[in-house]
Amino acid sequence: MKQGAPRSVYQHSSFYSLIGLPGLLILIVLFIIPLAILLFNAFVDDAGTVTFQRITSIVTNPYIIRILAFTLFQAFLSTFVSVLVALPGAYLTSNFEFKGKRLIKSLCMVPFVLPSILVVLGFVIFYGNSGMVNRMLIQLFDLNEPPLHILYSFKAIIMAHAFYNIPIAMGLISSYWERLPVSANQAASTLGARGFTTFRTITLPRLTPAIISASTLVFLFCYSSFAIILVLGGGPQFTTMEVEIYREARIMLDTNAAAALSVVSIVIALCFVAVYSYMQNIMSNQEEFTSPLSTRKRMMGLRKPTFAAVFLIIVYSMLLAIFVLGPMIAIVVRSFQAPLTRTSQMEFSLKWYRQLFGFSQSFLFTSAITAILYSTAIAFVTALVSLITSTITSAILCSLKQRGRLLTELLAMMPMAVSSVIIGLGYHIISSRLYGSTSWKMIALVMAHVVIASPLVLRTILPTYRSILPTYMQASMTLGATVSKTFRKIEIPLLRSAMVTGASFAFAISMGELNATLVLSDSHVITIPIVMYRLIGSYNYNAACALGSVLILFYIIIFFIAESIKRKKYA
């Protein structure tokens, strides 16, 4: 039976339809309603008349056309660079067995959960004019001025996007590549094909769905990038659609113009979400990947790397480790440094941590502890709600036929087509026109975080759900168990590992979410990323590094707990 095919046990039970109702209700309340209010502001004028004037003025405005062209260009270029650099790593990890392979794969997950504000801070501390790289080069070559001028430029944007997406693209392509059966390659070798010819004629065509899928996902991340553009771009010449939406809504206070811009952005992004969902269905429906025996044969057939491959593995791993871990290490190191005087060299100090936690009267940002408490509470609720909705949505998707499944999955993945800035804008419009209390701001912030995190949690749980053999449920019900009991006692335990991973991702995403939070927050509702953004804006990089290190520690703890829970399952 094909993976992802509808199971008869689902089709003859109303249980899966009933448990899907809460998820549908949450989707409507948390996503559809704010989006509808946003669209109302885009298509309805002050007199209450439906009009396309705002949209027309947007798409014919030369300034907006230039912004849109730059947004698409930087996203395409960032995607091209990320996938091009990721392919060699995917080839090495999927075709060779070597020590440190698991470490490299774990390294690929680091950028996926890092918030944009940490990436921005890490790039400033690592690649800045007085950053770690320039200081090392100045000392090494006895230079008088920094040799690298990366920040606040177009190349800084591309590098930051590559930092995020090279490991992600490598992981996605590698996981698909290592499941490709070797029989076709062996047949090609028997017929005389060698090396690149086999790759070009056999491997690459079968790998194309994974490359397109990874490229589409990377493009969506780069297209909706906000904090990286806002801070590292360094000027209006690098403005993107998301930055312009934020500027119109919060600086120019023109929510109608921001809503019209959001509509244009959504339509473009939705096209790429459709491509991504379509490619994911093609990949999941490949019959040759459904056999566990085929996958085991593929993994057992991995060869020892040649001398050239060993050299490439070492070089690639070192560069990847420096590129991924360098900015994060720089943040932690800088957080423990402070000059004794304004002109003295940096020395080891706990000054910034004493200020951060209020042990020093000179610390101006006493809201840091409050921000930590706010962020933790919001992240916990976000993870819980996202986990529940994504699990029951996965059950619904596995119960539907092909056409219904594709349409429903596209609906569930729609929040990916709506950037977090636009989601925040929808809640900002509701908050500014209906309510004004701090408690409502908190509720709106949690709702926005759930909408942002849920699609990624769904993409974590759904593949595992589709891989569950229907014979398990059939055997359970043959022994007298009801459908609901089978769901609780069989399916949920089998999904435990994916659910823990998904909840961890949701918690991490919420802890570091800046885009929607920046649109929604005020002086009373603050989170860790908001405080870090303000510290960076005031050039207090040392205090920002201390708070960033606390955020990194949170990530380490939550993923350590998640791994411990998953290991306990197999103990």
Max mean pLDDT among 7-11, 183-187, 264-268, 411-415 falls in 264-268
pLDDT at 291 over 90: no
Task: Decide if 15 is inside a domain.
Answer: yes
Task: Decide if 485 is inside a domain.
Answer: yes
Q: How confident is the model at residue 5 (pLDDT cuts 50, 70, 90)?
A: very low
Task: Decide if 27 is inside a domain.
Answer: yes
Mean of the pLDDT values across residues 148-175?
Answer: 86
pLDDT at 282 over 80: no
What is the average pLDDT value for the chain, to the nearest integer?
Answer: 80
Mean of the pLDDT values across residues 138-146?
Answer: 84
Q: Which domain holds residue 474?
A: 1-43+371-528
CATH number, domain containing residue 417? 1.10.3720.10
pLDDT at 544 over 70: yes
pLDDT at 278 over 60: yes
pLDDT at 149 (0 to 100): 83
Task: Decide if 266 is inside a domain.
Answer: no
Q: What is the pLDDT of residues 405-427, one digit of tens each?
A: 667 777 777 787 788 888 888 88
- Exposed, middle or buried by CB within 10 Å (0-12, 13-18, 19+), for 534? middle
Mean of the pLDDT values across residues 540-550?
Answer: 90
Mean of the pLDDT values across residues 232-259?
Answer: 85
pLDDT at 320 over 60: yes
Q: Which long-range contacts (CB under 8 A, 24 or more apart) does 466-474 make?
A: 466/3, 466/4, 466/284, 466/398, 467/3, 468/494, 468/495, 470/1, 470/7, 470/8, 470/9, 473/7, 473/9, 474/9
Short-list 217, 219, 243, 235, CA closest to 156 = 235
Q: How confident is the model at residue 521 (pLDDT cuts 50, 70, 90)?
A: confident
Q: How confident is the model at residue 538 (pLDDT cuts 50, 70, 90)?
A: confident
Max mean pLDDT among 304-313, 353-362, 391-400 falls in 304-313
Mean of the pLDDT values across residues 267-293?
Answer: 70
Give me the number of domains the chain comprises.
1
* CA-to-CA dists, residue 2 to 5, 16, 287, angstroms: 5, 20, 6
pLDDT at 11 (0 to 100): 47
Task: Decide if 233 is inside a domain.
Answer: no
pLDDT at 2 (0 to 100): 45
What is the residue whose two structure tokens read 């109608």? 256
pLDDT at 303 (0 to 100): 66
pLDDT at 365 (0 to 100): 53
Short-list 31, 76, 72, 43, CA closest to 414 = 31
Task: Decide if 171 is inside a domain.
Answer: no
Q: How confident is the model at residue 470 (pLDDT cuts 50, 70, 90)?
A: confident
Neighbours of 52 (CB within 10 A): 11
Task: Decide if 483 is inside a domain.
Answer: yes
User: Of the ranges 54-58, 131-135, 179-183, 289-293, which one carries the lowest mean pLDDT score?
Assistant: 289-293
pLDDT at 290 (0 to 100): 44
pLDDT at 161 (0 to 100): 92
DSSP class per residue in 387-398 = HHHHHHHHHHHH
DSSP state of 357: T
Q: What is the pLDDT of residues 79-131, one digit of tens each?
A: 999 999 999 888 888 888 888 787 787 777 777 778 888 988 998 899 888 88
**pLDDT: which is higher, 282 or 505:** 505
Percent of the chain with pLDDT strictly greater than 90 = 15
Mean of the pLDDT values across residues 213-221?
Answer: 89
pLDDT at 12 over 60: no
Mean of the pLDDT values across residues 383-391?
Answer: 90
Q: Are the CB atoms for 51 and 45 separated by under 8 Å?
A: yes
pLDDT at 4 (0 to 100): 43
pLDDT at 366 (0 to 100): 60
Q: What is the pLDDT of residues 33-90, one digit of tens each?
A: 888 888 888 888 777 778 888 888 888 899 999 999 999 999 999 999 999 999 988 8
Mean of the pLDDT values across residues 294-313?
Answer: 67
pLDDT at 381 (0 to 100): 94
Mean of the pLDDT values across residues 17-44?
Answer: 78
Q: What is the pLDDT of residues 332-363, one digit of tens each?
A: 999 998 877 766 677 888 888 888 776 655 44
Query: Computed from CA positions of residues 3, 5, 9, 14, in that sequence, does the dihedral angle turn out positive or negative?
Result: positive
pLDDT at 116 (0 to 100): 87
